[in-house]
Structure 1
Amino acid sequence: MLPEKKTVNHSRVMIVDDDEDDIYLMKRALSRLQESARMNLDLTFVCSGSEALGEIDRRLVDNSLPSKIFLDLNMPGINGLDVLSHCMAQNILDEVEVVVITTASDPDTHNLALANGARTVCVKPNSLKEMSDLISSLLAAE
């Protein structure tokens, strides 16, 4: 008889990204991680900064904030820095860890994100394995 899989971690995670390819890569990486590490993740995917603001406000009212937000910076309209400013204005950065995952690799952009409340800034990986490794390490730090 095979041993029963036990859930070792439960987390609410919100992913904010406007790029369909990046969302697909993150979904695959998270799915792989849930299967292999027996994690129970409550995932929310939003495709714009404005949608993220609405979701954050709704979850504030429902008292169901995510423990982590994986946030893209480069989005049209309301961008990742605007979302960070909103999180700071709502005083949720002590309970919600915002991790910026961006294509921007310049130190000025990274420092700006950190100064605006991001806990960590990472450059987006290009492969499923690298994305899986990155997300695994970010979730293990919880």
Structure 2
Amino acid sequence: MSQLILVEDDLDDIYFFKMACDAVTPKLEVTVLHDGNELIEYIEQNNCIGKVILLDLNMPKMSGLEVLKKLNKSNMINQLIIITYTTSDHREDVKAAYELGVNSYLTKPDNLEQLTQLVSSLSEYWFTFNLNLKE
């Protein structure tokens, strides 16, 4: 089963993301983490190769950019598929995220239909067409 790790602190965004995942085929297994600290701990304790990590930038405790900096320092960034998934479309955030090693930068859609389309496209690309080092 295709696995996504959603790092998101907003409960509404989590709810709608899960709804969108339930609407796509094949089904996606979604692990939800609520901040950057949880993600770092999860990565240290689990094999995340082949899993897609959707990382929000604006989170409490440790922001998405801070997570990326930490992953860069430990050289783990090159082993992971990390996609920024955020409301920010500020040029500085986009540039910083790419400089820190994200594979893609997505902004959150405005409605469930667009979100479902995004999740479907993301799933098709990363789990069907893209070759990666799966477990």
Same fold (TM over 0.5): yes
The letter of the residue matching 2:6 is I
Find the aligned partners of 1:123 and 1:112 in 2 and give their Cα distance: 15
Q: Verify: 1:94 aligned to 2:78, yes or no.
A: yes
Which of the two has higher C-alpha Rg? 1
Q: Verify: 1:54 aligned to 2:41, yes or no.
A: yes
Q: Equivalent pairs: percent with the same residue?
A: 31
Number of residue equivalences: 126
CA RMSD of aligned residues (A): 1.6
Q: 1:29 aligns with which of 9, 20, 28?
A: 20
What is aligned with 1:121?
Answer: 105
TM-score normalized by the length of structure 2? 0.84
- Is the Cα contact below 8 Å between 2:48 and 2:80 reproduced in 1? no
Deviation at 1:91? 3.2
Find the aligned partners of 1:46 and 1:66 in 2 and give their Cα distance: 17
Change (3 A) 1:128 1:87: same
For structure 2, list consecutive stretches of 5 or more residues without a partner in the other structure. Answer: 127-135
What is aligned with 2:51?
Answer: 67
Deviation at 1:65? 4.1
Q: 1:80 aligns with which of 64, 67, 86?
A: 64
Deviation at 1:66? 5.1
Find the aligned partners of 1:43 and 1:91 in 2 and give their Cα distance: 25
For structure 1, list consecutive stretches of 5 or more residues without a partner in the other structure. Answer: 1-9
Find the aligned partners of 1:64 and 1:122 in 2 and give their Cα distance: 20
The letter of the residue matching 2:16 is L
